[in-house]
Chains A and B, each alone.
Chain A
Amino acid sequence: MKAIVNVFLKNGVLDSQGKAVLHALSGHGFGTVNDVRVGKQIIIEMDESDAAKAKEKVAHMCEELLANTVIEEYTIEIQA
Protein backbone atom coordinates (compact mmCIF):
# COMPACT_ATOMS: atom_id res chain seq x y z
CA MET A 1 0.00 0.00 0.00
CA LYS A 2 1.17 3.50 -0.77
CA ALA A 3 0.55 6.67 1.22
CA ILE A 4 0.90 10.13 -0.29
CA VAL A 5 1.43 12.77 2.38
CA ASN A 6 1.27 16.47 1.53
CA VAL A 7 2.61 18.93 4.10
CA PHE A 8 1.95 22.67 3.89
CA LEU A 9 2.31 25.64 6.21
CA LYS A 10 -0.98 26.39 7.96
CA ASN A 11 -3.14 29.24 6.78
CA GLY A 12 -2.01 32.33 8.65
CA VAL A 13 1.64 31.20 8.81
CA LEU A 14 3.57 33.22 6.23
CA ASP A 15 4.83 31.03 3.38
CA SER A 16 7.93 33.00 2.29
CA GLN A 17 8.84 30.48 -0.41
CA GLY A 18 5.33 30.61 -1.88
CA LYS A 19 5.51 34.43 -1.93
CA ALA A 20 8.93 34.35 -3.66
CA VAL A 21 7.63 31.95 -6.33
CA LEU A 22 4.52 34.11 -6.79
CA HIS A 23 6.68 37.22 -7.36
CA ALA A 24 8.92 35.35 -9.79
CA LEU A 25 5.95 34.08 -11.80
CA SER A 26 4.27 37.50 -11.83
CA GLY A 27 7.55 39.07 -12.96
CA HIS A 28 7.72 36.64 -15.86
CA GLY A 29 4.37 37.59 -17.31
CA PHE A 30 2.19 35.04 -15.53
CA GLY A 31 -0.04 37.84 -14.33
CA THR A 32 -3.07 35.64 -13.69
CA VAL A 33 -1.35 33.89 -10.77
CA ASN A 34 -3.00 35.03 -7.50
CA ASP A 35 -1.34 32.88 -4.90
CA VAL A 36 1.32 30.18 -4.59
CA ARG A 37 1.96 27.81 -1.71
CA VAL A 38 5.08 25.67 -1.52
CA GLY A 39 4.92 22.44 0.46
CA LYS A 40 6.42 19.00 0.36
CA GLN A 41 5.18 15.60 -0.67
CA ILE A 42 6.28 12.43 1.11
CA ILE A 43 5.51 9.07 -0.53
CA ILE A 44 5.52 6.06 1.76
CA GLU A 45 5.44 2.42 0.65
CA MET A 46 4.21 0.14 3.40
CA ASP A 47 3.35 -3.48 4.11
CA GLU A 48 -0.27 -2.94 5.07
CA SER A 49 -3.38 -4.23 3.30
CA ASP A 50 -6.05 -2.40 5.30
CA ALA A 51 -6.45 1.19 4.05
CA ALA A 52 -7.95 2.46 7.29
CA LYS A 53 -5.11 1.00 9.34
CA ALA A 54 -2.56 2.38 6.90
CA LYS A 55 -4.07 5.85 7.19
CA GLU A 56 -4.06 5.66 10.97
CA LYS A 57 -0.38 4.66 11.02
CA VAL A 58 0.58 7.42 8.61
CA ALA A 59 -1.36 9.98 10.66
CA HIS A 60 0.70 8.89 13.66
CA MET A 61 3.89 9.31 11.59
CA CYS A 62 2.76 12.83 10.66
CA GLU A 63 2.13 13.79 14.27
CA GLU A 64 5.45 12.29 15.45
CA LEU A 65 7.78 13.39 12.67
CA LEU A 66 6.57 14.19 9.17
CA ALA A 67 4.85 17.49 10.03
CA ASN A 68 5.45 20.09 12.72
CA THR A 69 1.87 20.78 13.70
CA VAL A 70 2.82 24.07 15.36
CA ILE A 71 3.21 25.55 11.87
CA GLU A 72 2.18 22.86 9.37
CA GLU A 73 -0.90 20.89 8.32
CA TYR A 74 -0.99 17.65 6.35
CA THR A 75 -3.22 15.54 4.13
CA ILE A 76 -2.98 11.77 3.60
CA GLU A 77 -4.06 9.87 0.53
CA ILE A 78 -3.89 6.05 0.56
CA GLN A 79 -3.42 4.21 -2.74
CA ALA A 80 -3.75 0.45 -3.21
Chain B
Amino acid sequence: MKVGIIQFPGTNCEYDTQHAFASLGCDTEILWHKNDTISEGIDLVVVPGGFSYGDYLRSGAIAKMSPLMKALKLYADNGGKVLGICNGFQVLTEMGLLPGALKRNEGLHFISRHHHLKVISTNNEFLRLYTKNALLNIPIAHHDGNFYIDEQGLAELYANDQVLLKYTDENGEIDNPNGSVDSIAGICNKSKNVFGLMPHPERAMESLLGSDDGCRMLEGFLHA
Protein backbone atom coordinates (compact mmCIF):
# COMPACT_ATOMS: atom_id res chain seq x y z
CA MET B 1 0.00 0.00 0.00
CA LYS B 2 1.48 3.32 -1.06
CA VAL B 3 0.15 6.68 0.13
CA GLY B 4 0.85 9.97 -1.64
CA ILE B 5 0.62 13.10 0.53
CA ILE B 6 0.20 16.47 -1.18
CA GLN B 7 2.29 19.40 -0.02
CA PHE B 8 1.45 23.06 -0.73
CA PRO B 9 3.24 26.12 0.62
CA GLY B 10 1.69 26.41 4.10
CA THR B 11 0.82 22.72 4.55
CA ASN B 12 1.92 21.66 8.03
CA CYS B 13 0.48 18.18 8.66
CA GLU B 14 2.20 16.31 5.81
CA TYR B 15 4.90 14.74 7.99
CA ASP B 16 2.47 13.78 10.80
CA THR B 17 0.34 12.12 8.13
CA GLN B 18 3.40 10.42 6.65
CA HIS B 19 4.42 9.17 10.12
CA ALA B 20 0.89 7.88 10.80
CA PHE B 21 0.70 5.85 7.58
CA ALA B 22 4.31 4.65 7.92
CA SER B 23 3.48 3.37 11.42
CA LEU B 24 0.80 1.21 9.78
CA GLY B 25 3.41 -0.23 7.40
CA CYS B 26 2.58 1.86 4.31
CA ASP B 27 5.06 3.25 1.83
CA THR B 28 4.62 7.01 1.51
CA GLU B 29 5.60 9.78 -0.88
CA ILE B 30 5.29 13.54 -0.47
CA LEU B 31 3.77 15.01 -3.66
CA TRP B 32 4.79 18.63 -4.35
CA HIS B 33 1.85 20.65 -5.62
CA LYS B 34 3.74 21.91 -8.68
CA ASN B 35 4.02 18.39 -10.09
CA ASP B 36 1.49 17.76 -12.80
CA THR B 37 1.10 14.01 -12.37
CA ILE B 38 0.41 11.59 -9.54
CA SER B 39 3.07 8.86 -9.59
CA GLU B 40 2.10 5.35 -10.71
CA GLY B 41 1.34 2.87 -7.97
CA ILE B 42 -0.18 5.28 -5.45
CA ASP B 43 -3.21 3.64 -3.78
CA LEU B 44 -4.40 6.64 -1.78
CA VAL B 45 -3.80 10.38 -2.04
CA VAL B 46 -4.09 12.43 1.14
CA VAL B 47 -4.62 16.20 1.09
CA PRO B 48 -3.31 16.96 4.58
CA GLY B 49 -4.02 19.72 7.07
CA GLY B 50 -2.38 23.11 7.40
CA PHE B 51 -2.83 26.56 5.92
CA SER B 52 -2.20 26.21 2.20
CA TYR B 53 -1.30 29.64 0.81
CA GLY B 54 -1.93 31.15 4.24
CA ASP B 55 -5.69 30.57 3.80
CA TYR B 56 -5.64 33.72 1.62
CA LEU B 57 -8.94 34.58 -0.11
CA ARG B 58 -10.66 31.49 1.39
CA SER B 59 -9.27 28.34 2.99
CA GLY B 60 -8.29 25.97 0.19
CA ALA B 61 -9.21 28.38 -2.61
CA ILE B 62 -5.75 29.11 -4.00
CA ALA B 63 -4.54 25.54 -3.50
CA LYS B 64 -7.19 24.28 -5.89
CA MET B 65 -5.43 26.19 -8.71
CA SER B 66 -2.15 24.23 -8.29
CA PRO B 67 -1.02 22.06 -11.24
CA LEU B 68 -1.28 18.81 -9.25
CA MET B 69 -4.98 19.43 -8.61
CA LYS B 70 -5.87 18.72 -12.25
CA ALA B 71 -4.15 15.35 -11.89
CA LEU B 72 -5.96 14.78 -8.58
CA LYS B 73 -9.33 15.48 -10.20
CA LEU B 74 -8.55 12.95 -12.92
CA TYR B 75 -7.30 10.45 -10.33
CA ALA B 76 -10.53 10.77 -8.32
CA ASP B 77 -12.75 10.70 -11.43
CA ASN B 78 -11.10 7.38 -12.35
CA GLY B 79 -12.01 5.93 -8.96
CA GLY B 80 -8.76 6.69 -7.13
CA LYS B 81 -9.08 7.04 -3.37
CA VAL B 82 -8.63 10.53 -1.89
CA LEU B 83 -8.72 11.63 1.76
CA GLY B 84 -8.83 15.31 2.76
CA ILE B 85 -8.08 16.16 6.38
CA CYS B 86 -8.94 19.64 7.73
CA ASN B 87 -7.43 22.06 5.17
CA GLY B 88 -7.52 19.08 2.79
CA PHE B 89 -11.30 18.82 3.29
CA GLN B 90 -11.56 22.55 2.51
CA VAL B 91 -9.50 22.07 -0.67
CA LEU B 92 -11.69 19.14 -1.82
CA THR B 93 -14.92 21.13 -1.37
CA GLU B 94 -13.38 24.14 -3.17
CA MET B 95 -12.47 21.81 -6.07
CA GLY B 96 -15.96 20.35 -6.16
CA LEU B 97 -14.74 16.82 -5.41
CA LEU B 98 -16.92 16.96 -2.28
CA PRO B 99 -20.23 18.85 -1.92
CA GLY B 100 -20.80 21.83 0.40
CA ALA B 101 -18.36 24.38 1.77
CA LEU B 102 -16.48 25.14 5.00
CA LYS B 103 -17.28 28.55 6.50
CA ARG B 104 -15.74 30.49 9.36
CA ASN B 105 -16.62 28.86 12.73
CA GLU B 106 -19.90 30.23 14.04
CA GLY B 107 -18.24 31.58 17.21
CA LEU B 108 -15.44 33.09 15.06
CA HIS B 109 -12.73 31.49 17.25
CA PHE B 110 -10.00 29.10 16.18
CA ILE B 111 -10.82 25.84 18.02
CA SER B 112 -8.02 23.44 18.99
CA ARG B 113 -8.98 20.58 21.32
CA HIS B 114 -9.98 16.95 21.50
CA HIS B 115 -13.60 16.39 20.47
CA HIS B 116 -15.91 13.41 20.43
CA LEU B 117 -17.30 12.15 17.17
CA LYS B 118 -20.02 9.64 16.37
CA VAL B 119 -19.62 7.21 13.48
CA ILE B 120 -22.72 7.64 11.30
CA SER B 121 -21.94 5.32 8.40
CA THR B 122 -19.59 2.36 8.11
CA ASN B 123 -20.62 1.51 4.57
CA ASN B 124 -17.33 2.85 3.16
CA GLU B 125 -13.60 2.02 3.22
CA PHE B 126 -12.72 4.86 5.54
CA LEU B 127 -14.93 3.81 8.48
CA ARG B 128 -15.50 0.13 7.67
CA LEU B 129 -13.51 -1.04 10.71
CA TYR B 130 -15.75 0.80 13.20
CA THR B 131 -19.24 -0.08 14.36
CA LYS B 132 -22.10 2.31 13.63
CA ASN B 133 -22.65 4.89 16.43
CA ALA B 134 -19.16 4.21 17.86
CA LEU B 135 -17.80 7.22 19.77
CA LEU B 136 -14.30 8.45 18.97
CA ASN B 137 -12.06 11.00 20.62
CA ILE B 138 -10.07 12.87 17.97
CA PRO B 139 -8.49 16.36 17.93
CA ILE B 140 -9.94 19.24 15.94
CA ALA B 141 -7.90 22.35 15.07
CA HIS B 142 -9.59 24.77 12.71
CA HIS B 143 -10.93 28.27 12.11
CA ASP B 144 -13.06 27.43 9.08
CA GLY B 145 -14.77 24.17 9.96
CA ASN B 146 -18.39 25.24 9.78
CA PHE B 147 -19.77 22.81 7.19
CA TYR B 148 -22.49 24.33 5.03
CA ILE B 149 -24.71 22.66 2.46
CA ASP B 150 -28.17 23.65 1.26
CA GLU B 151 -31.26 21.61 2.15
CA GLN B 152 -31.37 19.70 -1.10
CA GLY B 153 -27.67 18.85 -0.87
CA LEU B 154 -28.12 17.68 2.72
CA ALA B 155 -31.03 15.43 1.73
CA GLU B 156 -28.83 13.89 -0.99
CA LEU B 157 -26.00 13.28 1.50
CA TYR B 158 -28.36 11.33 3.76
CA ALA B 159 -30.06 9.52 0.90
CA ASN B 160 -26.70 8.23 -0.38
CA ASP B 161 -25.26 7.42 3.05
CA GLN B 162 -22.53 10.09 2.62
CA VAL B 163 -22.62 11.56 6.13
CA LEU B 164 -19.72 9.85 7.91
CA LEU B 165 -19.12 11.59 11.25
CA LYS B 166 -20.90 14.03 13.57
CA TYR B 167 -19.59 16.08 16.49
CA THR B 168 -20.97 14.86 19.83
CA ASP B 169 -20.17 14.94 23.54
CA GLU B 170 -18.71 11.93 25.39
CA ASN B 171 -22.22 10.44 25.72
CA GLY B 172 -22.93 10.61 22.02
CA GLU B 173 -25.31 13.59 22.27
CA ILE B 174 -24.94 16.20 19.53
CA ASP B 175 -22.37 18.81 20.59
CA ASN B 176 -21.65 21.20 17.74
CA PRO B 177 -18.40 23.17 18.17
CA ASN B 178 -18.48 25.28 15.00
CA GLY B 179 -22.03 25.66 13.67
CA SER B 180 -21.82 22.89 11.04
CA VAL B 181 -25.11 21.89 9.43
CA ASP B 182 -26.46 18.91 11.45
CA SER B 183 -23.15 18.87 13.39
CA ILE B 184 -21.48 17.14 10.43
CA ALA B 185 -17.71 16.57 10.82
CA GLY B 186 -17.01 14.37 7.80
CA ILE B 187 -18.56 13.27 4.50
CA CYS B 188 -17.72 11.33 1.34
CA ASN B 189 -18.71 11.70 -2.30
CA LYS B 190 -21.50 9.71 -3.90
CA SER B 191 -19.20 7.02 -5.31
CA LYS B 192 -17.46 6.69 -1.91
CA ASN B 193 -13.89 7.11 -3.08
CA VAL B 194 -13.35 10.72 -1.90
CA PHE B 195 -13.47 11.40 1.86
CA GLY B 196 -13.19 14.62 3.85
CA LEU B 197 -13.25 15.47 7.55
CA MET B 198 -12.24 18.39 9.75
CA PRO B 199 -10.85 16.33 12.70
CA HIS B 200 -7.28 15.02 12.56
CA PRO B 201 -7.09 11.19 12.74
CA GLU B 202 -3.30 11.36 12.16
CA ARG B 203 -3.04 13.12 15.55
CA ALA B 204 -4.89 10.27 17.30
CA MET B 205 -2.54 7.37 16.66
CA GLU B 206 -1.01 6.81 20.13
CA SER B 207 -2.97 6.29 23.37
CA LEU B 208 0.09 7.70 25.17
CA LEU B 209 -0.60 11.01 23.40
CA GLY B 210 -4.29 11.15 24.29
CA SER B 211 -6.04 8.83 21.85
CA ASP B 212 -5.46 6.15 19.25
CA ASP B 213 -9.02 6.33 17.92
CA GLY B 214 -7.76 7.53 14.53
CA CYS B 215 -5.82 4.35 13.72
CA ARG B 216 -8.72 2.36 12.36
CA MET B 217 -9.75 5.17 10.00
CA LEU B 218 -6.41 5.02 8.25
CA GLU B 219 -6.29 1.21 8.55
CA GLY B 220 -9.61 1.07 6.73
CA PHE B 221 -7.77 1.88 3.52
CA LEU B 222 -5.33 -1.02 3.97
CA HIS B 223 -6.18 -4.31 2.27
CA ALA B 224 -9.61 -2.91 1.43
Binding site for B on A (CB under 8 A): 9, 13-14, 16-17, 20, 65-66, 68, 70-71
- A80→B56 CA distance, assembly (Å): 28
Is A17 touching B65 in the complex (CB atoms < 8 A)? no
A65-B62, A70-B101, A71-B148 given; 12 more Cβ-contact pairs under 8 Å: A13-B103, A14-B106, A14-B179, A16-B103, A16-B105, A16-B179, A20-B108, A65-B57, A68-B61, A68-B94, A70-B100, A70-B149
> What residues of B have a CB within 8 angstroms of the CB of A17 in the complex?
104, 108
Task: Render B52-68 as a binary contact track against A, CB cut-off 8 A, 1 for contact.
Answer: 00000110011011000
Is A13 touching B57 in the complex (CB atoms < 8 A)? no
> What residues of B have a CB within 8 angstroms of the CB of A9 in the complex?
103
Distance in Å from the Cβ of A37 to the closest Cβ of chain B?
A: 13
- A68→B100 CA distance, assembly (Å): 10
- A17→B146 CA distance, assembly (Å): 13
Across the A-B interface, give the 5 residue pairs with the lowest CB-CB distance, nearest first: A70-B101, A71-B101, A16-B106, A68-B101, A71-B148
Centre residue among A14, A66, A70 by max chain B CB count within 10 A: A70
Is B57 touching A16 in the complex (CB atoms < 8 A)? no
Is A16 touching B104 in the complex (CB atoms < 8 A)? yes
